[in-house]
Amino acid sequence: MKLDWKKGWKKLRVGSGTGREGTWRRGAAVFERGFEIIPPIGYKIAAALALGVFFLLFERLTLTIAILFGGTLFFMKTHLNETPGEGQRGGAEGEEEIRGVEPENEFGALLPENVIPLANAFIPAWKNLDDFLYVILDLLKVTLDYQTATVFLKNPRKGTLVQRAFSSRTPSVARLAAIRIGHGLVGWVAEQKRPLIVGNLRKEGRNLGYYRRAGERVNSFAAVPILVNGEVEGVLAVDHEKAEAFLGDGTESVLMIIAETIARVLGAQASREEALTELDRIRESRRIIHEVFEAPNLDIASSVFLRGIAPLGECHSLALFLLNERGELRRRAAMGFQGIAANEIKEPVMIRAVEQALQQGSPFRIEGAALAAQYRLAVRRRQTIPEMLVAFPLLYRGRNLGGVVIEMRHSSDYTERFEAILQEVCQAVGSAFLRVYRTAQAEGTARQEEELIRFSATLLASESLGEVWRKILTLVLERTPATGAAVFTREGENFVLAASENCRVTEKEVPLRQGLIGWAALAEKVVVGRGDDRRPLPITGGREYLVSPIGMPGERNSVVILVGNEPGVFGEREREWMGALAQAVCPIVAGVARWEMAATAVEEEGVTGLFNEIGFQRRLQAMAADGRTVVAVLLRMDNYEALLAEFGRAEMNRFQRRFGSVLKEMVGANGIVAKIDGGRFAIGLRASARTTKTEILDFLERSRSASFPERTVVYSISEAASDSVPVSELLEAAETRLADIDSRETRIAGAA
C-alpha cells in the first residue's frame, strides 16, 4: 500500500484555524495509518540508508542534515505509535456514530414550540418535532444501511430547504445547510416531487446539493420528497460511500414509508396551527368589538377602538376619521408611536386614503415611493416617513361612516393576522359608531340604539350559538308584545329549529323555499302573516306572526318568528325594531359561530368526531368542578395493530366511527366519550351514575356488528376515580392499571 502523504496533509490543512479539538490529531492519524504497513525494522533501515547516502554524496558538510532527516523520521514514528487511533472519529477502526438535531434556526413555520397534538397522534407523543425526527432517523438506521441520512424541511418565506436533522456515521456531514429548491439533487427532488436514486455519483458527475467537507467519499445517493396534501414540505436524503448501495428494490419503499410518517406529523401540526390561528384571530376581534360596544359616547369609543388595535402590531401611528353632519371626514382620535406625536400625523394624505377606501369599499394600501412622494410635501424629516399606509373603511348597512388609517414603519410588520383582525373588527364596529350618532339626534331613537348596543355587548360574551339564540328570544319577548318566539337556522336545504320559548312547535324541519319562513328569507325583509295565512308556519297558537330573517344580504341563514295573540299587535314600530335587531346581531352571530367552530376543531378527533384527549380533559375538569367524584374508564383494543394491518386504515376508520357511536349510545347524557389514539377510547362519568367495567363489556357484546365476522377484538379495560387520583392524572392512572388487568376476548361491537 502506498503512503498517502497528500491525503494526510489535506486533512491537516482543512482542520487548521477552526479551533475544533482533535482536528490536528485526526490528520496525524492519517499519517499513522500510512506508516502501519511498514514493519518497525523498516524505519531503522531507512534511517541508516539515508545517513549513508548523504554522507557519501556530500561528505561531512551534509552530515548534520542527514542526521536531522533520519531523526525526524524516527520521531514521527515514535510519536504516532504512542497514541494509536486517537481522534479517529469516523475511521475504519472504532468507528463512532455521530447523529444530532440541528439547533434552532430561522425556519419559523413550525410554531408554537413544535408540539405534536395528541388529537392527531398515531405514535407516542414526542417532546417536539426535532425529537421526533431524531427517533425517525434512528428507525431508518435499523432498516437501511447508509453513511448519512438528512431531513430537509421547507422554509416557505425564502423558498429554500433547511437541514433540520441528521444522523451520520462520519463527522464530515454539513450543518445548517440551506438549499435552493431546484438546485442539485436534493433541490431537484423537491421541485419534481419525485424520488431519486443515483448508483454512482462520481461516474455520473452529479452534485448532491448540500455541502460536505473535503475528502469525504460519497458514491451512492437516494432521496424522496415529503409531501403534505400534495405540496412539498421537505426531503429525506441518504448517501453511502459505496457505489450502487441503494439500487435494491426495498430502498425506495423504505424511504417513502419514512417520508409519509414525517408528512403525517407535519400535516397534523399544520392543521393544529391553523385552528389555533383562527381561534386567536376570533378572540382578539371579539375583545376589541366588546370594548367598543361598551363605550358610553363617541369619543371614548374612538379611543378604545385605537387602543385595542395598537397591541396587534408594530404600528407607526393610528388615526380614526368619521363623517360629521355635513359629510366631511374629521379626525376623532389618534395615537402616535416611536416618538411621533399624535398632532404630527399627516391628515391630508390620510383623508385621501380613507376616501379611496370608502369609494372602493375595501382596504386601500399605499407604500414605497408613492407614499414617500405624498409625504414629502407635508414632512421635512425623511426619517419620519413610514413604508406603508393602509386605510380600512367603516361601513354600516351600506352607509359610509369613516375609516381607520394605520401607518407601518416597516412593511414587513403588516402581517396576515393583523389584516384579518382589522377587517373583522371594522365590519362590526360600524354599528356602534352610528348608534352613538343617533343618540345625539333623537332621544326616542337613542333609547332603542343604546339598548341594542348593550344587548350586543351581552351577546358577545356568549360561548355558543345556543346561548345567543336564547338571549335573543328573551329580549324579544321583553321588548315586543309577542307571547312566544322561535328561531330556525339553515342546515343544508332545510330550516331546523334552534330554540323556542312559550310556543308550540309542530315541525322541527321546514323546507328552505316553502311557507312564510321561506318567503321572508327569500325577500330578505320582515314579513307579517295572519293566523289563517295560506303560507304555513311550523308553530301554532297565535293569531298573528312576525317573521324576521337574520344574516348578511344574500345569506339569510336564520329566521326569528314572533307569535301574537291578537291581530294587529305587530305594527311598523315592531317591524323597524326587529329589522334593526337583525342587522345588529348578524355579525355577532357569525363571529360566535366561527368561534364555536374553531374551538371545536381544536378539541375534536378528526376520524370519529369524538373528543380528543384535550377536549376530554377539559370536560372532565368541568364535571369535577362542583367537587363531585368523577371516574375515567380507559378501553384499549389489544389487537388493534393486527386488525389495522389486515383490513387497512380506511376500514378501521369506519369501524372506529361505529364503535364510538356505540359508546356514545351507552353513556348518553351521563358522561363523555373520547378517542385518545390508535385503539384507545376513554369514558368519563360521575361516580354516582357510572357504568361498571362488566356492564361496558356486556353492552359491547350485545351490540355486535357484522363488519369482521371472522375476527375478534380483544379489549382491556381499567378505571380510575378522582377520590384517589387528581383529575388531571386520571387517564395516566387508568393506563398504568391496564398492565394488571387480564384482557377479555369478545366479538367486535358497534351499532351500524
Is 98-272's fold the same as 294-410's? yes
Q: Contact 236/261 with Cβ under 8 angstroms? A: no
Distance CA 230, CA 193 (A): 9
Report which secondary-structure segment, H or E, holds 517: helix 515-523
In the CATH hierarchy, which fold is given to the domain comprising 613-747? Alpha-Beta Plaits (3.30.70)
Q: Give me the helix-helix angle, 465-479 and 572-603, nearest 10°.
A: 160
pLDDT of residue 224: 92
What global pTM score does this model have?
0.37
Cα–Cα–Cα angle for 40, 43, 44, nearest 5°?
Answer: 100
Q: Contact 660/681 with Cβ under 8 angstroms? A: yes
3-state secondary structure of 749: strand
Block residue for cell numbers 423537491: 190
> So where are the chain's domains?
5-82, 98-272, 294-410, 462-595, 613-747
> Domain 462-595 carries which CATH code?
3.30.450.40
Residues in the chain: 752
- 50 to 56, 57, 62, 75: CA distances (angstroms): 10, 11, 11, 15
pLDDT of residue 57: 59
pLDDT of residue 212: 62
Block residue for cell numbers 385518545: 676
In the CATH hierarchy, which fold is given to the domain comprising 294-410? Beta-Lactamase (3.30.450)
pLDDT of residue 634: 84
Q: What are phi and psi of 366, to 5 degrees?
A: -140, 135
- CB atoms under 10 Å from CB of 26, counted, come to 21
- CATH match of 98-272 with 3.30.450.40: yes
Distance CA 55, CA 291 (A): 101
Distance CA 557, CA 622 (A): 32
pLDDT of residue 522: 82
pLDDT of residue 694: 62
Block residue for cell numbers 314579513: 527
Block residue for cell numbers 351581552: 458
Distance CA 233, CA 583 (A): 44
Distance CA 343, CA 336 (A): 8
Strand partners, 714: 745
pLDDT of residue 41: 55
- For residue 592, count CB atoms less than 10 angstroms from its CB and return exposed for 0-12, middle for 13-18, buried for 19 or more: buried
Mean pLDDT by 10 residues, the chain (752 residues): 41 38 41 46 60 58 58 56 38 38 37 37 53 81 83 80 82 68 86 87 67 68 88 88 80 86 79 71 78 76 84 83 78 73 64 87 84 66 72 82 86 80 79 62 57 73 79 85 89 85 87 83 84 82 87 77 87 78 78 71 75 81 78 82 83 83 77 83 75 64 51 74 80 76 42 30
Starting at the edge strand that comes first in sequence, how are the strands of the sheet with 555-564 ordered? 509-511, 494-501, 484-491, 555-564, 544-552, 527-530
Strand partners, 162: 153, 178
Distance CA 86, CA 33 (A): 12
pLDDT of residue 436: 60
